[in-house]
């Protein structure tokens, strides 16, 4: 039995993970906002709080699962950086002070960046290049660079870093699923814009395996296979709106300048060059085989979303 602290425990994955781990371990959650119906204990708190180490000591925490992060750009880059990067640094320092033995961090495939020369399938040893223009991608890269430095200086704190692709589940709703809710699916001429999906229950399953095996290392987290944007449109049974990159870039420039959209022209790369994650090491080295493929995950999401009127 482990004594586990989950940051971001009130969130989507945190709730699922805490409920599952609480069946066999002592679990404490931490979140800025604590839902009233969480099935495990949770404290209201900030990952940047200097008193975090004392909380870990009080609860004799041996394992920390760090989920807390800014998922969508708030418009305040300094604030988001402070939470993502400085918040993670505080978690790391608290782990060292409190004698925590394992830290599990959910990073993201976005840490590789959205680049035209990305390999067809990204391996964990490929460089993390992020994108300065995308806060989420840039911060995930910075966090992983920091984690690597801490690991070099403090190898006794085992680190398990998971890089998920696009997470989907029964009730997912975010900026990615908003793309699927439109009447037509946007495609950029000359780009397949492939997606790799991971079932939310597989994210939880991989973290649980990490807790129960004490594993360390870095692993991509994705279902088998990928879907092009046209395959996505076919499953959604929606037409494709194909635009030349230059036309879309000009439209975003004008819309952003007129404050009609928060998306700047640089965001076109987010649509064109999505990182495609290989899960070979996840299966062969970490020993976790996702229950659903990318396609099965997407079809599962679509079926549930249609049933509740989301699509």
pLDDT 10s digits, 28-49: 999 999 998 899 999 999 999 9
What's the confidence (pLDDT) of residue 175? 86
**pLDDT for position 42:** 97
Q: Name the percent of the chain lying above pLDDT 90.
A: 84
Asked whether residue 268 carries a pLDDT value surpassing 90, the answer given is no
Residue 179's H or E segment, with its range, is helix 177-181
| pLDDT tens for each residue of 138-160 | 999 999 999 999 999 999 999 99
pLDDT score of 259 more than 80: no
The pLDDT mean for the chain works out to 95
**pLDDT reported for residue 47:** 98
222 and 290 Cβ atoms separated by less than 8 Å: yes
- DSSP category for residue 286: I
Ordered structural domains, the chain, with CATH = 3-173+198-224+276-293 (3.40.50.720)
Least confident of 187-191, 215-219, 286-290: 187-191
**CB contact at 8 A, 147 and 278:** no
Instruction: Write down the pLDDT at residue 281.
Output: 98
Active site residue 136: yes
Residues 55-77: what's their mean pLDDT?
93
The answer on pLDDT for 182 being more than 90 is: yes
**What was the pLDDT predicted at 251?**
86
What pLDDT, on a 0 to 100 scale, did the predictor assign at position 292?
98
- How is the chain split among helix, strand and coil, in percent rounded to 5? 40, 15, 40
Q: Find the catalytic residue in 12, 112, 114, 136.
A: 136
**Does the pLDDT at position 52 exceed 90?**
yes
Contact yes or no for 155/215 (Cβ under 8 A): no
Average pLDDT over residues 75-86: 94
> Residue 262's pLDDT is what?
73
186 with 252: CB under 8 angstroms?
no
Strand partners, 185: 240
Is the entire prediction scored with pTM above 0.85? yes
Q: Is the pLDDT of residue 184 over 80?
A: yes
**pLDDT tens column, 98-127:** 999 999 999 999 999 999 999 999 999 999
Q: Are the C-beta atoms of residues 101 and 157 closer than 8 Å to each other?
A: yes
DSSP class per residue in 184-215: SEEEETT----B-EEEHHHHHHHHHHHHHHT-
Q: φ and ψ at 161, to 5 degrees? A: -115, 125
Residue 270: pLDDT band (50, 70, 90) is: confident
pLDDT at 3: 97
CA distance 137 to 147: 15
- Write the secondary structure of 49-97 as one string of H (helix), E (strand) and C (coil): CCCHHHHHHHHCCCEEEECCCCCCCCCCHHHHHHHHHHHHHHHHHHHHH
d(CA 19, CA 12): 11
Q: Report the percent of the chain where pLDDT is more than 70.
A: 100
Report the C-alpha gap between 59 and 156 in whole angstroms: 20
Q: Based on the number of CB atoms within 10 Å of its own CB, is 122 exposed (0-12), middle (13-18) or buried (19 or more)?
A: buried
Distance CA 181, CA 76 (A): 27
The reported pLDDT for the residue numbered 163 is 98
């Amino acid at each position: 039995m482990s004594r586990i602290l989950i940051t971001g425990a009130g969130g989507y994955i945190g709730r699922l993970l805490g409920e599952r781990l609480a069946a066999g371990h002592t679990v404490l959650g931490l979140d800025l906002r604590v839902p009233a119906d969480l099935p495990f204990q949770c404290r209201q708190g900030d990952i940047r709080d200097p008193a975090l180490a004392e909380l870990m000591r009080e609860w004799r925490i041996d394992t920390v699962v760090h989920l807390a992060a800014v998922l969508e750009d708030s418009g305040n880059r300094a604030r988001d950086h402070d939470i993502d990067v400085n918040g993670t640094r505080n978690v790391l320092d608290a782990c060292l002070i409190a004698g925590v033995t394992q830290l599990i961090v959910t990073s993201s495939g976005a840490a590789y960046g959205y680049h035209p020369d990305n390999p067809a399938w990204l391996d964990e040893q490929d460089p993390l290049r992020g994108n300065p223009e995308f806060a989420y991608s840039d911060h995930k890269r910075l966090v992983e660079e920091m984690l690597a430095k801490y690991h070099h200086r403090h190898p006794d704190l085992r680190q398990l870093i998971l890089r998920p692709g696009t997470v989907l589940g029964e009730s997912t709703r975010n900026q990615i699923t908003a793309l699927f809710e439109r009447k037509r699916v946007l495609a950029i001429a000359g780009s397949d814009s492939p997606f790799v999906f991971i079932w939310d229950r597989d994210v939880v399953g991989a973290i649980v395996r990490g807790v129960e095996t004490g594993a360390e290392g870095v692993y991509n987290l994705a279902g088998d296979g990928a879907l092009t944007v046209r395959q996505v449109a076919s499953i959604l049974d929606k037409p494709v709106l194909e635009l030349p990159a230059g036309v879309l870039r000009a439209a975003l420039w004008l819309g952003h300048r007129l404050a009609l959209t928060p998306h700047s022209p640089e965001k076109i790369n987010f649509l064109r060059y999505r990182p495609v994650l290989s899960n070979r090491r996840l299966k062969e080295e970490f020993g976790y085989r996702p229950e659903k493929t990318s396609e099965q995950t997407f079809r599962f999401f679509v079926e549930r979303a249609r049933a509740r009127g989301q699509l």
